[in-house]
Amino acid sequence: MIDRVVVGVAVALLAGCASISTSPRVTGGATGTTAVQGALDFDGNRDFLPAPLLALPPAEPGSTRVFRYRYDVHYDDTDLSALALFNPLTILGCPTGSVSVVTDATLEVTSSGDTVRRYAARTVASRLRTIYSGDPLSELRSRALRASAQSIAEQLAADGDVTASAQTRAAPTIDGGNR
């Protein structure tokens, strides 16, 4: 009997944990702040912008170098509440379903209307749902958007000063490939 209670408590505690996976993962440990110059084309919540873009002024018609940041959010909710009514372990915190949030973020750097760089990130955040957990979608959405923005900031840092490099090198596409 005690073993069942221990297992039930362990499941209840672990059920509240969220898993987050972001691609691409940037390796190489670029440090410091990334110097970017230009204007920002973004009309969302600034809390979810990559850090190097926060100081950029808004883009205006005729802006030469523009950083265009966009993100999409997709939700998946698997609800097994009806089946949970017949499962006595539900009262101990066994999962009654799962929720996941997928964010796709892209940053395009344009110079005189031509795209010179493109960065992309995808984050999947998921969590099991129990009868004791509330609706975690807002929290998962926020964490996923911040993780995608962080990935793009790391890609910018790994690329160096994008203003100088965009003028001297061809434009590679950095993408995690998990679409």
> In three state form, how does the secondary structure of 25-79 look?
CCCCCCCCCCCCCCEEECCCCHHHCCHHHCCCCECCCCCCEEEEEEEEEEEEEEE
Q: What gap in Å lies between CA 106 and CA 115, rounded to an integer? A: 12
CB atoms < 10 A from the CB of 149, how many?
24
At 116, the amino acid letter reads V
Q: What gap in Å lies between CA 31 and CA 51, rounded to an integer? A: 13
Q: Which pLDDT tens digit goes with each residue over 128-176?
A: 877 777 666 888 899 999 999 999 999 988 887 564 444 433 344 444 5
Q: Which CATH number applies to 2-174?
A: 3.30.160
Q: Are 106 and 77 in contact (CB under 8 A)?
A: no
Domain residue ranges in the chain: 2-174
pTM of the full predicted structure?
Answer: 0.73
Tokens 């009868």 locate to 131
Q: Which pLDDT tens digit goes with each residue over 22-62?
A: 888 776 655 556 678 888 999 989 999 999 999 899 888 88
